[in-house]
Each structure stands twice: as structure tokens, then as C-alpha cells.
Chain A
Amino acid sequence: MAKELYFQDISVGDPIPILVKKPVNKVQLVRYAGASGDFNPLHTDPEVGKAVGIGQIAHGMLIMGFVGQAVTNWIPKKYLRKFSVRFAGMTRPDDVITVTGKVTDKKQEKENKIIRGELLAKNQKDEVVITGAFEAALPDR
């Protein structure tokens, strides 16, 4: 879980701790379908993926969940103000997703002490699957 984090301790350029996820597996896709309610069969039925011509792919929102995990492992969830992603590539069963990121901006805006950063999720072939950004309001030490 995330330790307390103070504005004073953060510098522009600081990396967020790298998160390497276990390989995405088919059972996980079924679980995510049931949890989220996204039952598009493209994500859970390999035959449908084949018929559409792109194969079985993971829910993009599952991979956004991985990225959110990486962010909130470092920044306590309660300080997160904004979190956005662009889906840049597809993820398939057995892919290994690694999430990295870094702080790109730090400033005081009125009474709020704000940090902003960029996020990246790549697969084992070094292909980008998500680019993202976050903003958090941190407390003073």
C-alpha cells in the first residue's frame, strides 16, 4: 500500500515505482468481465476474436486498472485528482504489462500543492499499450 507522501519530498523527474504485472490470463479476463459488467465476447471468447480478425484481446479498462494500481501504489488514492489514459495498443492473453511513469510538473496553485506526471504501459515486446497522465494534490510535511 502507499506510504504517506509529502509535497516537499517530490521532485520533477522522480520516477514512480515500476509495476510489472503477472501475465494477463484468460481467467483474469473472465473475472474482469464479471466484475465490470463488460461482457463483450471479444474479451472472453477466442472464437469471436478470431471471427472479427483481431484475436482475443483484454479489456482496455483492465489495463487502465493496472496503470491505476501503479499510481496508487505510490500516491495515496485520496490525493489523486485526475487520471487519464489513451489506449495505444491491444493486450492479449499471456502479455506481460509493465507500468512506468514520472513526475513532470510540481507547483503550488492557490492553496493546493499539485504534482503532475506521465504514465506508460508497455508489453513484453516494448510496444506501448497505454499512455497516460495523473495529477495529485499532496499535503505539506
Chain B
Amino acid sequence: MADKSMINKKFPAFTWEVERGKIREMVQAIGDDNAIYVNKDIAKQEGYEDCPASPTFVFVPMMWTGALLNVIKELKINFSRVLHGEESYEYFRDIYPGDVLKGEIKLVSIDEKTGKSGSMELIRWETLYTNQRNEPVVKASTLLVERK
């Protein structure tokens, strides 16, 4: 059972420098062949400053910095019983190579629910990502489901 006293808790901020190659790796793994992610000239023709990051890119800093595993550890969630329930993004600005993102996680809610497959716990947090100019770029909301 996650500790409900942690609702509204803010976790330590994490930072991540966005590399051009990582933007490319993500779309190649997905199999998304939109040229804006890999070709700077085409990206500029289409109105971007440079190759933008793809819509789900902020999963990269969340995982590579260990921020998600830190939340799971702090909340004493059993990782082997966890499913990803929902993910949502609100976009404010595009992310470009060279940006330095800062992510700040706030725990929003912990709810219990009993369904057909037994009881579960629903854990929701929000992550606000800002860039090196302190401009908000993306707000992410994540729902994890811990099966009991």
C-alpha cells in the first residue's frame, strides 16, 4: 500500500540534456518515419527551429534519469505488480536538440479500487518539464496501477 501521506509530495527535480541522436533513436524504435525528427532542413521548412522531439519523448528523461524508479521506490510500490494505466501530455513548446529539460514530479492521488481481478491501487502523478529558459514545455500525467 502506497503511503497516502505522500499525496502532494514533490520529488527532487531531475535534469536531462536533449541530444539529436536520442530524438532519432526514439522515432526509429517506434518506426515513425516523419522526416521532421531526423532532417533539420525539412523540419525548418515545416516551421520548426530544428528537429523537434516526438510526442512521447519525455518518457526518455523519466526513465534514463531513474526518476520513475525513484518514485516507485519512495512509495514502496511493488514494481513487479505495476501496470501503466494512463499517460497524458499537454504541450506548451517544442523540445529541440540541446535543450536542457528539468522535470518536477508531484504526487497527485492514491486511490484504492476493487475490480473483477481483485483489488488495486491507482497512483497518479504529474510531471512538469521546463527548458533552460524556464519555459514550460510539457506537462505529463501518469497513472500507475498496482495489482494487489
| B143 vs chain A, min Cβ distance (A) | 8
Query: Is A66 part of the contact surface with B, judged by Cβ < 8 Å?
Result: yes
Count of interface residues, chain B, beta-carbon cutoff 8 Å? 36
Decide if B48 touches A28 in the complex (CB within 8 Å). no
Which residues does chain A contribute within 8 Å of B30, judged by CB atoms? 32, 62, 65-66, 68-69
Decide if A87 touches B85 in the complex (CB within 8 Å). yes
Count of interface residues, chain A, beta-carbon cutoff 8 Å? 36
Query: Is A7 part of the contact surface with B, judged by Cβ < 8 Å?
Result: no
Beyond the given A77-B94, A87-B87, could you list 9 further A-B residue pairs with CB under 8 A, ordered by the A residue number?
A2-B46, A28-B29, A31-B28, A62-B30, A65-B30, A77-B52, A81-B91, A82-B88, A84-B87
A-B pairs with beta carbons under 8 Å apart, 19 shown: A1-B34, A1-B36, A2-B46, A32-B29, A35-B29, A37-B60, A61-B84, A65-B56, A69-B32, A77-B34, A77-B48, A77-B94, A78-B46, A78-B52, A82-B91, A83-B88, A84-B89, A85-B86, A87-B84
Which positions in B face A, CB cutoff 8 Å? 22, 25-26, 28-32, 34-36, 42, 46-48, 52, 54-56, 59-60, 63-64, 79-80, 83-91, 94, 141
